[in-house]
Structure 1
Amino acid sequence: MFEEKLVQLEPNAHLHQIVLEHKEETRAIKQDTEIPGCNCEPIISFIDKVKMFDVWFKEQNVIFQLIDWNLRGIAQVMFINNPLSGIIILTGLILQNPWWALNGFVGTVFSNLAALLLSQNSPVLSSALASVMQKWDLPIFTLPFNILLSMFMAATGHDNQHFPQVLIQPRPGPQNITWPELSVPMLLRAIPVGVGQVFGCDSPWAGCIFLGALVISSPIICLHAAIGSCLGILAGLSLASPFQKIYDGLWSYNCVLACIAVGGMFYALTWQTHLLAIMCAIFCAYLGEALMNMMSVFGLPAGTWPFCLSTLVFLLMTSNNKAIYKLPLSKVANPETNRKIYKEMQKHKSYE
């Protein structure tokens, strides 16, 4: 009887320890904000509850764990490792197009099942690319998606009877841009639309839902997603791009991912890396337009090639500035935790 009581107490003690760790982590986040007069307690308390839900999901049976893996897979598109955010993102996809949501979920399930059957941490192509990229301690991002998408569309073509595609062609000639017709409300609408286009959604409501999924897991990721979308809009205006293309978020979605990746995800967040994230997003926007024009000659979409290539370039850069610290890939978690690791490392060095 005494031994049974001990066994029952152990999970509770473990959960109590996890809660204490989360409280210490969020307390460090609060101290790092250094914004006078800002009451962050409600936000920190809510993030604590989200993390406890995350822990609870992991401790359930195999069925719940399978659901957990798939929801995390959906959220990982935006660098979020949280099943609750995955549920919210899936809700946004259903709002946009239930058929898209179904296909996305089925693809995630089969990808995870394939990895399980082959006893791998990821599908075949992802595993192969990861083994190559680990030599430089770099993530593979969405390179498998881009490779497979480009191969499939190049192989089938526009006139395929079984797999018809949208016809992609270069712009026929110069576009007539009338600046007085520029709509400021539509530009503001394009901010959430640009975030939504990461999942191919052109609805501002879906984009707002995705931003909500980001903010409950990582406010820093949410902030950089919005900044990246704004920078994509400004880049499109600077090149006199057709207004409808800007309104549809096609200038922004790659910038959103690039800004998140550099702005605290793979670099510890400091004001220097924040500026680096802005530079990466701007570079990504112009690279995206260049790739889009070149690949349209072959009837192919740019996909997320601009995000992958621009972010990898910025992750490969070297600097003597100690404030620009790239985390080892094995230690990357989320921007808040990454910043905590960086601050502790700086304290340790100062003691030495």
Structure 2
Amino acid sequence: MSDSPKKEEAEKQPEINIEMETPATEEATVPLSGEEPTKKETSGTTKGVVGVLGSFKWLSLCGDAPLITDKLDHAIDESKTRVKRAFYYLMHFLDVTGRNFGQVCFANNPISGFLILAGLAVGDPLVALCGFVASTVGIFFSLLMQQPRGSIRAGLCCYNAALFGAVLPALALGPNPWAEPLTVWICVVLGSIFTVVITVSVANSLSSLKPAIPLFTLPFNLVALFAVVVLRVHHQAQQPTRVPNPDFDWMHLVEGSFLGAGQVFAVQDLYCSGLVLFGMLICSPVLALAGFFGSLVGTFLGAAVSANLWNAAYNGILGYNAFLASCAVCFFYVPTWRSFLVAFLNAALTVIVQVALGWAFADTALPVLTLPFVGASLIVLGMTAEKEALPRSMAPLTFPEQHRAKWLQDARRESVQSTDTNTHP
């Protein structure tokens, strides 16, 4: 009898349901860039970006375009007919193609990529066509070799192929062509395959390093330099004639800084540069501004070195490596005033390396391509500091604005935890 009140009291107590919070399932893929691991998230991707891009649904087309990713992820499985299935396969292909061109400038966004491709078509249709063909060959070769779908989807496998396809015809079939068109097309197809092979093999070797080392455009440089040498074996290129130094003009320097965006793809055209910057602006205003001001620093610094470099400065040639170098720092480091300072220092270092390599390659007439950007950026990204002073962007890498939002969120969480620890010992 004495136990019955206790039993009744226990029955009246509310049932406490404790649920463990389970993390969203993630499918990790091989980080083919060494520093750019990609993760395929569930439908919560869009929710995670709302705090950065705002509550408007159309803004989810910015950044890494989570709206497009979410829509295409289940479209093929939900399609009932072969026509719809083929249509969504085509949409997937176009999504990857756009990201291939965007990833050259660290913009993982298909809209940005197709704006860049449109800029290439405006500047030189042949460059755009060769870049598209190289990107397509790279995609199909990556699928044939069964590379991680997440890396292919993010454009990490084939962005070097897209860049190679765009730059090689601009070099060999430009205003002063020095190679046969058929030979260049063969090099574009074969070279795009080799860029994928080098990207995958070298990235697998470097992915074990802590922190992992990004490849940047190293595969493109290796394949492009060998392709230029092979093409010149059969058709000797003429040495460029010396052009007299022009008069110094501040406005031409500003114009050259603007042209640096298009010169990333070896296209000297204002409309092309404008579309490249606009595409990057859709993905990340931080990247667009960092790239332009990096090109500005590189162009003005290079022009200050020697009057012999004024032509290169006016044409945007001194700006494109600095453009990429500044973007790289603002992508791999969380955007702060210190990271912007480091970005502009990296742009300056890149121009110094470019001038030195240009002088060293002068006798062979080989292009420096993006080797200055790769070399200088690898050095600068090895710099460390206090976590709060120069924080690195944490994986999965998306775009600078979200990197900063995640960093601020983690800093607030650590601050709250430390406060709770101090108040409740």
Shorter chain as normaliser: what TM range?
Answer: 0.7 to 0.9
Residue number among 216, 231, 234 corresponding to 2:282 in the alignment = 216
SS of the residue 1:216 aligns to: helix
Shift of 1:55: 3.9
Shift of 1:165: 4.4
Once residues 214 and 47 of structure 1 are traced to their aligned partners in structure 2, the CA distance between those partners, rounded to angstroms, is: 14
SS of the residue 1:242 aligns to: helix
- Equivalence for 1:33: none
Change (3 A) 1:48 1:321: closer
Largest Rg, 1 or 2: 2
- Equivalence for 2:51: 24
Q: Does the CA-based 8 Å contact 2:49-2:402 persist in structure 1?
A: no
Residue number among 269, 291, 315 corresponding to 1:248 in the alignment = 315
- Equivalence for 1:70: 97
Structure 1, unmatched stretches of 5+, are 1-13, 28-40
Q: Does the CA-based 8 Å contact 1:75-1:82 persist in structure 2?
A: yes
- One-letter identity of the residue aligned with 2:219: P
1:339 aligns with 2:404: yes
Once residues 246 and 280 of structure 1 are traced to their aligned partners in structure 2, the CA distance between those partners, rounded to angstroms, is: 18
Residue number among 185, 190, 195 corresponding to 2:256 in the alignment = 190
Once residues 193 and 124 of structure 1 are traced to their aligned partners in structure 2, the CA distance between those partners, rounded to angstroms, is: 31
Once residues 281 and 138 of structure 1 are traced to their aligned partners in structure 2, the CA distance between those partners, rounded to angstroms, is: 19
Shift of 1:63: 1.8
Shift of 1:80: 0.7
**What pairs with 1:289-328 in structure 2 (closer than 5 Å)?**
289-320=355-386, 322-328=388-394
Q: Does the CA-based 8 Å contact 1:168-1:300 persist in structure 2?
A: no
- Report how many aligned residue pairs link the two structures: 312
- Equivalence for 1:56: 71
Change (3 A) 1:114 1:80: same
Alignment RMSD? 2.4
**TM-score, L = length of structure 2:** 0.68
Bigger proportion of residues as helix:
1
- One-letter identity of the residue aligned with 2:380: F
1:160 aligns with 2:225: no
Once residues 239 and 392 of structure 2 are traced to their aligned partners in structure 1, the CA distance between those partners, rounded to angstroms, is: 41
Shift of 1:302: 0.5
Once residues 57 and 260 of structure 1 are traced to their aligned partners in structure 2, the CA distance between those partners, rounded to angstroms, is: 28
Once residues 323 and 273 of structure 1 are traced to their aligned partners in structure 2, the CA distance between those partners, rounded to angstroms, is: 9
- Equivalence for 1:143: 218
SS of the residue 1:260 aligns to: helix
Residue number among 108, 111, 127 corresponding to 1:100 in the alignment = 127
Q: Does the CA-based 8 Å contact 2:259-2:316 persist in structure 1?
A: yes
SS of the residue 1:93 aligns to: helix
Once residues 361 and 137 of structure 2 are traced to their aligned partners in structure 1, the CA distance between those partners, rounded to angstroms, is: 29
1:124 aligns with 2:191: no
Change (3 A) 1:302 1:182: same
